[in-house]
């Protein structure tokens, strides 16, 4: 379905972001945003486990996902990532590597990340907000770094149980907290 929609839409925006799951494994999510039959769609295309987080490796993960859909990178009109130098660096970042493959792919700093940075900055100015997020981070660090938690996660992997997922709100909270400190 996505392949046929992309062929009809022709042009797309590439969106990617990396994060750690509960077992501390780095993963890269990749999405396409495109217009098909006068409607805008944002579709998940790939979830890659990242062994390396340098720009060359991330670029390779992205290009592999694009190749699997048989999509031409020259039809990418924009790219959207966070503002880290690995992703947005103008000389060696993923943005630069995509621009080597397609100079017309305009870079956009992800609005969700920009909003988060604004909230973090505001939170630093408000003592109660700072205290709340500090407490939230402390609880998260205590729970996620405990030995029983790590043993439990490893046992889950060995027994091939369904992967554990962190609830979205906790992921958002940890993302916000990680930027505060």
- H helices of the chain, in order, are 2-9, 55-68, 85-88, 94-101, 111-125, 127-144, 147-158, 168-180
Residue 169, pLDDT > 60, answer no
- What pLDDT score does 34 carry? 94
Does pLDDT of 166 surpass 70?
no
pLDDT tens, 148-157? 666 767 777 7
Q: How far apart are CA 171 and CA 166, in angstroms?
A: 6
What whole-number distance in Å separates Cα of residue 40 and Cα of residue 163? 31
């Amino acid at each position: 379905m996505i392949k046929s929609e992309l062929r009809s839409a022709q042009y797309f925006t590439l969106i990617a972001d990396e994060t750690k799951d509960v077992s501390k494994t780095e993963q890269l999510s990749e999405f396409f945003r495109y217009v098909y039959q006068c409607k805008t769609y944002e579709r998940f295309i790939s979830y890659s486990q990242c062994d390396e987080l340098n720009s060359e490796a991330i670029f390779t993960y992205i290009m592999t996902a694009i190749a699997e859909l048989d999509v031409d990178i020259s039809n990418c009109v924009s790219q959207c990532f966070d503002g880290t130098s690995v992703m947005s660096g103008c000389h060696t970042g993923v943005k630069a590597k995509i621009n080597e493959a397609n100079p017309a792919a305009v870079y956009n700093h992800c609005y969700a990340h920009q909003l988060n940075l604004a909230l973090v900055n505001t939170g630093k100015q408000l003592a109660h907000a700072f205290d709340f997020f500090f407490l939230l981070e402390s609880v998260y660090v205590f729970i996620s770094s405990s030995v029983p938690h790590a043993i439990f996660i490893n046992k889950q992997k060995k027994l091939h149980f369904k992967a554990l997922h962190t609830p979205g709100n906790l992921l958002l909270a940890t993302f916000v907290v990680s930027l505060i400190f």
